[in-house]
Amino acid sequence: MRFCPFPALRPPNELASQIASPPYDVIDSEEARRLASGNPRSFLHINKPEIDLPESTDLYSDAVYAKAAESFQHFQSNGWLRRENTVQYYLYRQEIEGHSQSGWVGVCHTEEYEQNLIKKHERTLQKKEDDRTRHVAALQANAGPIFLMVRAPAELKSLAAELEITPPEVDFTSPDGVRHSVWPVPTVHEVLSIFSKIPCAYVADGHHRTASASRCSKEFAAANPSHSGRENYNWFLSVMFAADDLMVLPYNRLVKGLNGKSAAEVLEAIQASGFACSAVREGTPAQRTDIRMFLEGNWYSLRKAAPADADPVAALDVSILQQELLSPVLGIKDPRKDGRISFKGGFDCVAQMEQAVRSGKADVAFSLYPTSTEEVMAVADADLIMPPKSTWFEPKLRSGLFVHTLDNGTAVSDVL
């Protein structure tokens, strides 16, 4: 596949910690205002531009995208984002709680996405896809990277290990406790050659950004009578990680109401559905097919394996929970639309869910074993779609450390 170096816009090393921000889609406007307060260099002024407009502003109004473009130009004119002199790859390492993962920063071609060489496992929502398409068009840039994973060959990991014994160019710890380190990669053609032999990549996080990059590429091509396929708008910003190095956390469920049943009736219905049910002390599952439930002050282990001939989606714990319990027992037919269900992912969520049930904010909680990257890739390989809220990849990629512009400056294609 084509994964190439590019002429990045980057912050000066000494400003990286001030500029780097959480991705746009993991925080709301109120939290973005709080995080950016007192910091005019926060990339949230570009990625969440509504924070610099009246709170009553429609998030999808023309004013929001115009403000994003204005802030983007302001960052460049102030030297907070500077153009690199070379077409370059970067190695981007993240570390948290003893876990480390290193990804290669570059750009992918939109044709790879359209030809399903960059594989998806989620559906996109039209409103969110429209939003990111307008944001990219307003900036003429990819402001946030796509989080991709590959089955990485040993030589790629060895190359990263060699680079990481040298001092990083950028090294800081963000307020959420994640350490971020960046190295420019001197062996451009070696990395290019390794990725050319990798047959495909998988979207871990960023389905809406990927879809919007593809849409923008088509729109810009249609407006360019001299379109050749080599322009920068045909490429989008990505970070490629080895799938087996990634940390996937559970994405758990909270439900309000027991569908008219008592707790005893819920337990009886669960057992009638074929689950092996036993009382346990802890809410963290020990392995796959072990679903933990917190109900009326007690944790239970619910076990039910998928049939041997189940497809990759039906075999997932999240699917078993939905199809065999949430729908028939608790009446949650569509978890995308039913307001009685909420989702909790990330660190320490088991304790938070238990507290939610004890406080009456929810009536029952379900704790799941994390979906593995191999399961995600198996679903994508089968051209299937994961159930909603199946994976929580952590840590998230910081925005603002790298920006890919779609203008006609130094072309990515110059290295091909």
When pLDDT is averaged across residues 349-372 and rounded to a whole number, the result is 94
Mean of per-residue pLDDT scores for the chain:
93
When pLDDT is averaged across residues 64-79 and rounded to a whole number, the result is 97
Cα of 65 vs its chain's centroid, Å: 22
Look up residue 89 and give its two tokens.
């790859």
Question: Residue 70: which region, alpha, beta or left (left: phi > 0; alpha: psi -120 to 50)?
Answer: alpha
Residue 116 binned pLDDT confidence (cut-offs 50, 70, 90):
very high
When pLDDT is averaged across residues 111-120 and rounded to a whole number, the result is 95
Strands 201-205 and 118-119: parallel
Q: What three-state secondary structure class fits 398?
A: coil
- Give the CA distances from residue 294 to residues 2, 217, 265, 354, 359, in Å, rounded to whole numbers and listed in that order: 47, 48, 15, 7, 13
Q: What three-state secondary structure class fits 407?
A: coil
When pLDDT is averaged across residues 284-290 and rounded to a whole number, the result is 92
- Enter the DSSP assignment of 21: B
| pLDDT of 414 higher than 80 | no
The alpha carbon dihedral of 91, 209, 112, 404 has a sign of: negative
Give me the amino acid identity at 80: W
**φ/ψ (deg, to 5) at 88:** -140, 150
Q: Are 368 and 178 in contact (CB under 8 A)?
A: no
When pLDDT is averaged across residues 88-113 and rounded to a whole number, the result is 95
| pLDDT of 386 higher than 70 | yes
Q: What three-state secondary structure class fits 185?
A: strand
pLDDT in tens, 131-179: 999 999 999 999 999 999 999 999 999 999 999 999 999 999 999 999 9
Q: CA 305, CA 295: separation in Å to the nearest integer?
A: 22
Q: What is the pLDDT, as a whole number, of residue 124?
A: 86
pLDDT in tens, 227-272: 888 889 999 999 999 999 999 888 999 999 999 999 999 999 999 9
| pLDDT of 293 higher than 90 | yes
When pLDDT is averaged across residues 270-285 and rounded to a whole number, the result is 94
Q: What is the pLDDT, as a whole number, of residue 227?
A: 87
Question: Residue 118: which region, alpha, beta or left (left: phi > 0; alpha: psi -120 to 50)?
Answer: beta
- ω before 395 within 30° of 0 (cis)? yes
Polymer length in residues for the chain: 416
Q: What is the pLDDT, as a whole number, of residue 416?
A: 54
Q: What is the pLDDT, as a whole number, of residue 25?
A: 87
Q: What three-state secondary structure class fits 234?
A: helix
Residues sharing a CB contact under 8 Å with residue 195, sequence separation 6 or more, in sequence order: 1, 2, 3, 104, 106, 156, 240
pTM of the model: 0.91
When pLDDT is averaged across residues 334-339 and rounded to a whole number, the result is 89
Question: Residue 38: which region, alpha, beta or left (left: phi > 0; alpha: psi -120 to 50)?
Answer: left
The alpha carbon dihedral of 39, 42, 46, 51 has a sign of: negative
- Give the CA distances from residue 290 to residues 250, 306, 325, in Å, rounded to whole numbers and listed in that order: 12, 12, 14
Q: What is the pLDDT, as a whole number, of residue 359?
A: 95
| pLDDT of 412 higher than 80 | no
Look up residue 184 and give its two tokens.
């420019």
Residue boundaries of the structural domains of the chain: 3-247+395-415, 248-393
| pLDDT of 410 higher than 60 | no
Residue 347 binned pLDDT confidence (cut-offs 50, 70, 90):
confident
Q: What is the pLDDT, as a whole number, of residue 295?
A: 96
- Give the CA distances from residue 313 to residues 123, 148, 414, in Å, rounded to whole numbers and listed in that order: 14, 20, 41
248-393 classified as CATH 3.40.50.1360: no
Burial class (CB within 10 angstroms; exposed 0-12, middle 13-18, buried 19+) of 103: buried
Cα of 176 vs its chain's centroid, Å: 16
Q: What is the pLDDT, as a whole number, of residue 357?
A: 96
Give CA angle at 247 (242, 248), nearest 5°. Answer: 115
**H-run or E-run covering 82:** strand 82-83
Comparing CA positions, the residue from 206, 179, 2 lying closest to residue 120 is: 206
Q: What is the pLDDT, as a whole number, of residue 276?
A: 94
Look up residue 118 and give its two tokens.
């960059």
| pLDDT of 383 higher than 60 | yes
Q: What is the pLDDT, as a whole number, of residue 389?
A: 85
Q: What is the pLDDT, as a whole number, of residue 409?
A: 57
Q: What is the pLDDT, as a whole number, of residue 411?
A: 59
Q: What is the pLDDT, as a whole number, of residue 415?
A: 57
